[in-house]
Chains A and B, each alone.
Chain A
Amino acid sequence: MIGPLIKGLTITFKYIFKKKFTVQYPEERRELPPRAKWLHILQRHEDGKERCVACMLCASACPTEAIYIVGEENDLENPISHGERYAKVWDLDLGRCMFCGYCVEACPEEALAMTDEYELAVPTRKDLVLHKEDLLVEPGTPPVKTWLGFYRKEPIGAMPVTRPMEVHVEYEEYLKRRGPREAHE
């Protein structure tokens, strides 16, 4: 009877001197994997303009229809994004989102990224809908390399994106130079 008791207690006493298994959560956090997919952010260019051009690709890629976008034409003198349009409303319903990351995959401007912020508890259902001003980063924030570009060597934004604003202005000027055309042409 004594033998098995000592055998069992030896294991117990061994664990006293081992490294503690428990993570003391609020003070100490586990490091997440580099491609952890949690709360989305909307990124900005280096000059502070928004990356999102309201192309609606994330909203159409979303399997649960959690993203709602209203796009609007940019003002030519004072543009908000580099493209023709910008997102006037960009809402994300966390009550539907399942953090699959298809929106980040779909984004051609690398405007969307997912961070490792997983502490998302809110008290009401109304707070579950995050708006653009909650998700948009401050100007001057270093760009987050998305998990999509994990194996990519180039920095964010190196990918050729949609037509920049200068080309758009050039095109407008070209249209002015060319003058009106006939309808059938």
Chain B
Amino acid sequence: MIRLEKKGRNPFIVYGEEKSIEEQLRRNILLTTVDAMLKWSRRNSLWPLPLGLACCAIEMMGAFFARYDMARFGFEVFRFSPRQADLMIVAGTVTRKMAPIVKRLYDQMSEPKWVIAMGACAMAGGPYNSYAVVQGVDNLIPVDVYVPGCPPRPESLIYGIMKLREKIKQEREAKIL
């Protein structure tokens, strides 16, 4: 969030410096190039699985069409099959009836996988403080980036995905042990 960054608070710095010797050994110099290559390829070819459940889906589609062409960043194609997708965009109200399907789709996605909760309903239930609506999709699956808005603009979603790329850049996957 730009307002927080101006005040010297970047919430996206999530991985601090590890100080233990075991961690430093794991981040061996042999693997840094492999790691960089892995992260580079992952963050530049995020294929999203669109989970359009409500009106946020319209803005999600808007982000993918010619005006805000998300293919410029390599988020190339909507994959409607979860087995070919890396990124799940939960756009809209997750009702209790839809919850098991969301969970199953997430389980069917292949690793590594990331999740974006788009819009107030998917983030925390939004205006629907009701028994029929799951109060936040993070009750079901782990969420990496929350994109506020009701619905968010297409730019907001693109900004969220750019922030997810920053987050992937900080990850350190390759390990010797």
Contact = CB atoms under 8 A, between A and B. Distances in A.
Interface of A: 21-26, 29-30, 38-39, 63-65, 93-100, 117-125, 127-128, 133-135
Interface string B1-38: 11110010001101000000000000000000000000
Nearest to B66: A21
B149 interface: yes
B162 interface: yes
B107 interface: no
A40 to B, nearest CB: 10
A123 B155 contact: no
Contacts of B104: none
B14 to A, nearest CB: 6
Interface residues on B, range: 35 or more
B123 A128 contact: yes
B66 A22 contact: yes
Nearest to B156: A118
Contact of B145 (A95, A100, A118, A121): A121
Given A22-B68, A29-B155, A134 B3 contact: yes
A61 B132 CA distance: 24
A125 B122 CA distance: 11
